[in-house]
Amino acid sequence: MSVNSVPGKLIDSYGRVLRDLRVSVTDRCNFRCLYCLPETEAAANFYQNRFGQNPLAATTRIVRQWQPHSKILTFEEIERVVRVAVGLGIEKIRLTGGEPLLRRQIEKLVAKIAAIPGVRDLALTTNAFLFPDLGRALRDAGLRRVSFSLDSLDRDNFKKITGRDGLDAVLESVQLAKELELTPVKVNAVIIRGINDHEIEPLAQFAHDGNHTMRFIEFMPLDSGRAWHKELVVPGREILARLQARFALQPLTPTNASETARRWALPNGKGEIGIIAPVSEPFCGHCDRLRLTADGKFRTCLFSTGEHDVMPLLRGDASDETLAQFMRAVVWQKEARHHIGEPEFVQPQRTMSCIGG
């Protein structure tokens, strides 16, 4: 099999056909989450108390530098990449960040992408802080689904994790998204041992009471402080065992082979929970995702140590066909798997906020 063996598709050397494009529209964020940008006193205190040292002050931490606006893809450039990608079989588009709602007039980009024939699913992931003000405009522009971050239902713990007193905004946003029929409303929680693992059951109860879709995500090594420790990961199987002890869960059949979450219906069909376990139970073998950073770099894996710069093509005189050939060549190089937990694992230089979730 060669890079040109399947005309018109984005296929890698392992036979995986890519249909999902994650587009980061900004690397900036208004939160300082412990698992991404742990730059708060609370984060430093947690690591100091847990390990007797503060790794956030170490020289190995990633120095954060926001990209200047001139180096960020324009809406027109993003639209062009999406249009070409859809012509190569991409069906799902998710807008991410950083915090995507910090990008001014983001609803205009949503409208541009929603108008592209072949986009079957257009979603957005947000920390929800600005969603109450922008949600209706986003829906009217063509947004179909939204995912919110909700790592704690306790106001003080929420602020400890995120560095922001934003719990009310998330809860308001979840309700607004339901009113706007951006269904299913998904709520994501990154579970960290010693931080919010005691809230696993309450978060599932929240999903049941509100008929929401709750996703529990393992803590991954993508933080700017390089402070990730495997012992802080609550394995997916542990999360599941605790939830099964509390709720009568019914397993749900995957809707497609590339689903990252294992899913269960909560009692009486009210809401569901899903577990995303990339650390303890990798799903690389059926990954169908490609990522585009805000500054125009394609990444074939969250944990890629290399990137592919498309900006010169977009700001040169490259044709759409040349752009398509570039994308197919990039996808052909997609890694077989990540190497978390293996001796050769190297944490990427970019944090989650600069990659796009």
Look over the chain and give the mean of its residue pLDDT values, rounded to a whole number: 89
What average pLDDT does this structure show over 201-217?
Answer: 97
In terms of Cα–Cα distance, which of 107, 181, 182, 112 is closest to 147? Answer: 182
pLDDT at 269: 87
In terms of Cα–Cα distance, which of 116, 200, 184, 110 is closest to 152? Answer: 200
Alpha carbon 52 to its chain centroid, in Å, reads: 31
Domains of the chain, each with CATH number or no CATH: 20-355 (3.20.20.70)
Q: Quote the CA–CA distance of 48 and 42 in Å, as a whole number.
A: 10
Q: Which residue has the tokens 């995986």?
A: 16
Which position has the higher pLDDT, 32 or 89?
89
pTM: 0.90
User: Mind listing the pLDDT tens digit for each residue in 41-97?
Assistant: 887 777 777 766 666 666 555 556 667 888 999 999 999 999 999 999 999 999 999
Q: Is 86 exposed, middle or buried (0-12, 13-18, 19+ CB in 10 A)?
A: buried
Say if residue 299's pLDDT is above 70.
yes
Confidence tier at 342 by pLDDT (50, 70, 90)? low
Of 35-49, 138-152, 232-246, 290-304, the poorest mean pLDDT is in 35-49
pLDDT at 341: 66
| Token pair in block for residue 340 | 């978390």
User: Mind listing the pLDDT tens digit for each residue in 136-183?
Assistant: 999 999 999 999 999 999 999 999 999 999 999 999 999 999 999 998
Q: What are phi and psi of 137, to 5 degrees?
A: -65, -35
Per DSSP, the three-state class of 149 is: strand
Share of the chain above pLDDT 90, in %: 68
Q: Which residues contact 82 (CB under 8 A, 6 or more apart)?
A: 21, 23, 90, 93, 113, 116, 119
Say if residue 284's pLDDT is above 80.
no
pLDDT at 61: 57
